[in-house]
Amino acid sequence: MGSGPRFGGGKGAGIGAILLVLLFSWITGRDLSGVLPLISGGGGDPVESVPTGVPANDQPGQFATWVLNDNQEQWSKILGAQFRPTTLVLFSDATQSGCGPADAATGPFYCPADEKVYIDLNFYEELHTRFGASGDFAQAYVLAHEVGHHIQNVLGIEREMRRAQQANPRAANELSVRMELQADCFAGIWGHSTAQRNILDPGDVEEGLNAAASIGDDRIQKQATGRISPESFTHGTSQQRQTWLNRGLQQGSVEACDTFRQ
């Protein structure tokens, strides 16, 4: 498949520039996150989210919060009154969610019971060292994917998928794969919006597609055991994840992300 478009320039500053603002906040000890809507070219008030008061010297936390807010602002425009915000929970080592306890080994996840996105920021280091996926847009893609699960919950897709799994347990894994691929596509919709606003840097899309490929079921299984077992896939192959992320990036519409019928 193609590697997707490369964007840069234009009226807005790139994601790299946003990271520079956050880095300067860390160096100076001053919270400059308030200028982010100005340099990103976004209009209107961002959708509020937590955590609030992320320390200015916590650059990964500040970036994750910006990515979440920007995702929510774009999805509120797409869904209108149907949209409701999620909450971001940043944790270290272990936490308690509405879906039960979680630790660093759990990885980023969305809990539909409390409608919160959970991320141990140490995962981003693992994304680089274990999976070979680095870059700011790779990190943004992971968070946008979890927000995608929230959008599935808002639209009632998550509920219908669980009912289908209960009605046909033998299809549970296949349905899980389709759910995850749709979340990838929804992440691509957000990526499409950043391209439209000229806040992508050259190479950002490639970082996201590389991250999607790096966490495909086939690649993870091959790395862990040396074997690939398609019957146990729950998230999709590297190629599938790249394909659906790229579809969202290219088309930017919810209708293009119907993984359950394609």
198: Cβ contacts below 8 Å, ≥ 6 apart: 7, 8, 9, 10, 11, 12, 41
Which tens digits make up the pLDDT trace of 129-187?
Answer: 777 776 889 999 999 999 999 999 999 999 999 999 999 999 999 999 999 999 999 99
Instruction: Indicate yes or no: pTM above 0.95.
Output: no
Please choose, from the candidates 138, 131, 127, 105, the residue with its C-alpha nearest in 3D space to the C-alpha of residue 222: 131
What's the chain's average pLDDT?
81
Which tens digits make up the pLDDT trace of 212-230?
Answer: 999 999 999 998 999 999 9
Measured CA to CA, the distance from residue 224 to residue 227 in angstroms comes to: 8
Q: Is the pLDDT of residue 102 over 70?
A: yes
DSSP character at residue 10: S
